[in-house]
Chains A and B, each alone.
Chain A
Amino acid sequence: MLKMTHLSKVYRTEVVETYALRDFSIDVKEGEFVAVTGPSGSGKTTFLTIAGLLETFTGGSYHLDGVDVSHLNDNARSKIRNEKIGFIFQAFNLIPDLNVYDNVEVPLRYRGMKAAERKKRIMESLERVGLSSRLKHYPAELSGGQQQRVAIARALAGSPRLLLADEPTGNLDTQMARGVMELLEDIHREGATIVMVTHDPELATRAQRNVHVIDGQVVDVAEDRVFSTSQLAEHSPA
């Protein structure tokens, strides 16, 4: 589903080159729930932005759903983002001027979907996250947990091949975070491929597989096992 091989991302200024990712390789299979962990500045968000085609990379290769995305132009990348990827952001990133219904509709409109089909999908995805009664509410009228559920509904509405979640519970209190994680787990059980970036070791334990990133490189891959907090702490900055 998502395969990066020896991928690198370099930020260049006139005087310095900074490697955000270096010789980064990862292979996420269809239906997997992978947590990418690492300390702040380790490159996990850069990985997510490249995985989500929000940024280009400097070297290596990246295949998404079997497509080599290295040389795609901006429009083609937009189309893949729209059709194959669902984003869940830490800050929810709902559009404040649009109500719940219109927010979920945004990616469907960019796909050029007919109104009836859009409505069906919006209602289904909002029901899926338990917010079908809040269609006319604006983001500011919802709690953080509810906003993140709307964001998940927006990500799900387009039936993406891959869900990318960037610290999905980072802005939520414990109770709301638990609810959002349970929802992600449910979605995974239904067959979705999820890649979640988090610095929270507890959250990472909920994923099927953990990938640890330090200084832009994958340093540990733990499959079908759970990282302990102490193990992860070893890699955290002092």
Chain B
Amino acid sequence: MQIQPILAALRRHRLATLLITLQIALACAVLSNASFLISQRISRMHAPSGVDNAQLAEVSVEGFAPDQASNVNARMLAMLRGTAGVSSAALINAVPFGDPAANAGIKLDPSEQGTHGVMHFYVGGPGAFQALGLKVVEGRAPQAGDYQPVADFTPKQAPVVITRALATSLWPQGHPLGKSIWIGSRRFRVIGVVKGLIRPAPFTSSNRPAQGSIFVPGQPGPQLVGRYLIRVATGQMDSVLERVRKAVRQMGPQVVLDEAQTASVESLHSSYFQTDRSMVALLLGVVAALLLVTALGMVGLASFWVSQRTRQIGVRRALGATQGAILRYFQTENLLIVSAGIALGVVMAFALNVLLMQYYEVPRLPLGYLPVGALALWLLGQLAVLSPALRASRVPPVVATRSV
């Protein structure tokens, strides 16, 4: 191969080579980190919620006095259950991707120092567990006798159902049933485990796991009022919500619909990840612009070198280089420059990742993203250099005899 003479020639053009190498290194560093951030955001958006987003909706009302709680609950539940298209309705303090209601640090023993993370307590009235459609994988669902009065966000003592991810995290050896979870002096005994239930505001911090959800059966009352979960027949969500809005308006001045929180879980999901979608679009734009600039830089430099070396190419052809050999020369040259850029870019990628980790909640860059960035840049380099290299290969050998 021509590697040694190519390197020798590049040493004679240090500045141009260094600049393009640095540009490639920067592209590699940004590309690796941006790909990681993009894939992280996308995987968040596609994280399973554990419920059927399209069929569930939250209906939220406010404006009533605490002593009207029982009356409002009764009227609302009656109205919702009587609305065409609603298959079930129940009280709940929060729904996935809606506003969180009860986050608390949990302990496995009240005397423990520190907590096992901050979990979200979904407090649901009778029928809520079934309306959510949660899949029990161990133990049982709450039964009629399990519903306790709510005091300060949760019942004081209650049987609870937790997610499988939380159960595995708290008791890696298994057997979560019958175990206790504590918030201060409040004790919650695990009676069941569900496949999954995402917390209302997932992915906000590392000590708030996305599947850190605990379902607590609670009795409707002054502290469990105004937020309702409805399950709607497929394809009827918009019309049902419209009927519900109309019905609430007719309930009188004491009951006011919270428009922002009255929406399908799917719609709440979409709103919740709006920032992530914008970030993905922005990062894709940055990556595309950077790759374009890098590709143009490589095309520009290769074109300049081909023009500058036209006579030299003619001489090489005269000395026996085939068109393929000239093409390979420029492709190999590009491969070497891009490889040097990638080698430097890998170091810069980790440095950038460390910097991002210091200022933002970004995990360590997995090694797997580096080959992806490297491969993308190698391909980009080869594509970028192809046109100038083909032009070079078409330089006729007779150019060697022409006067300068």
- Residues of A bordering B, CB below 8 Å: 45, 48-49, 52-55, 74-75, 78-79, 81-83, 87, 89-91, 93, 95-99, 102, 105-107, 109-111, 138, 154, 158, 166
Known: A74-B323, A99-B8, A138-B12. 19 other contacts (CB 8 A): A54-B398, A54-B401, A78-B317, A78-B322, A78-B323, A81-B318, A81-B320, A82-B320, A87-B319, A89-B400, A91-B403, A91-B404, A93-B315, A93-B318, A95-B312, A95-B316, A98-B5, A106-B5, A110-B322
Indicate whether A98 sits within 8 Å of B396 (C-beta atoms), given known contacts A78-B322, A81-B319, A82-B319: no
Assess whether B175 is interfacial by the CB under 8 Å rule: no
Are A54 and B320 closer than 8 Å at their CB atoms? no
Which residues of chain A come closer than 8 Å to B404, judged between CB atoms? 91
Are A97 and B13 closer than 8 Å at their CB atoms? yes
- Residues of B bordering A, CB below 8 Å: 2, 4-5, 8-9, 12-13, 311-312, 315-325, 396-398, 400-401, 403-404
> Which residue, B12, B325, B401, has most C-beta atoms of chain A within 10 A?
B401
Pick the residue among B5, B311, B323, B400 that contacts A87 (CB under 8 A).
Answer: B400
Which residues of chain A come closer than 8 Å to B401, judged between CB atoms? 45, 48-49, 54, 89, 166
Indicate whether A110 sits within 8 Å of B400 (C-beta atoms), given known contacts A82-B319, A97-B9, A98-B8: no
Which residues of chain A come closer than 8 Å to B324, judged between CB atoms? 75
Tell me the interface secondary structure of chain B in the complex.
Answer: helix
Which residues of chain A come closer than 8 Å to B321, judged between CB atoms? 78, 82, 110
Closest Cβ of chain A to B323, distance in Å, is 6
Question: Total number of A-B contacts with CB less than 8 angstroms?
Answer: 88
User: How far does the alpha carbon of A53 sit from the alpha carbon of B400 in the complex, in Å?
Assistant: 12
Are A95 and B315 closer than 8 Å at their CB atoms? yes
Please give me the residue from chain A that is nearest to B399 by CB atom: A54
Closest Cβ of chain B to A90, distance in Å, is 8
Are B319 and A54 closer than 8 Å at their CB atoms? no
Indicate whether A98 sits within 8 Å of B9 (C-beta atoms), given known contacts A54-B396, A93-B400: yes
Pick the residue among B9, B312, B319 that contacts A110 (CB under 8 A).
Answer: B319
Indicate whether A111 sits within 8 Å of B8 (C-beta atoms), given known contacts A49-B401, A87-B400, A89-B401: no
> Which residue, B322, B323, B325, has most C-beta atoms of chain A within 10 A?
B322
Pick the residue among B12, B317, B322, B403 that contacts A97 (CB under 8 A).
Answer: B12
User: How far does the alpha carbon of A162 sit from the alpha carbon of B201 in the complex, in Å?
Assistant: 82
Are A109 and B397 closer than 8 Å at their CB atoms? no
Are A78 and B8 closer than 8 Å at their CB atoms? no
Pick the residue among A95, A105, A111 that contacts B320 (CB under 8 A).
Answer: A111
Are A54 and B318 closer than 8 Å at their CB atoms? yes
Are B320 and A102 closer than 8 Å at their CB atoms? no
User: How far does the alpha carbon of A97 sit from the alpha carbon of B333 in the complex, in Å?
Assistant: 14
Please give me the residue from chain A that is nearest to B317 by CB atom: A78
Which residues of chain B come closer than 8 Å to A93, judged between CB atoms? 311, 315, 318, 400
Indicate whether A154 sits within 8 Å of B9 (C-beta atoms), given known contacts A89-B400, A109-B2, A110-B325: no
> Which residue, B4, B13, B398, has most C-beta atoms of chain A within 10 A?
B398
Are B5 and A75 closer than 8 Å at their CB atoms? no
Which residues of chain A come closer than 8 Å to B400, judged between CB atoms? 54, 87, 89, 93
Are A110 and B5 closer than 8 Å at their CB atoms? no
Indicate whether A107 sits within 8 Å of B397 (C-beta atoms), given known contacts A91-B403, A93-B311: no
Which residues of chain A come closer than 8 Å to B323, judged between CB atoms? 74-75, 78
Which residues of chain B come closer than 8 Å to A79, judged between CB atoms? 320, 322
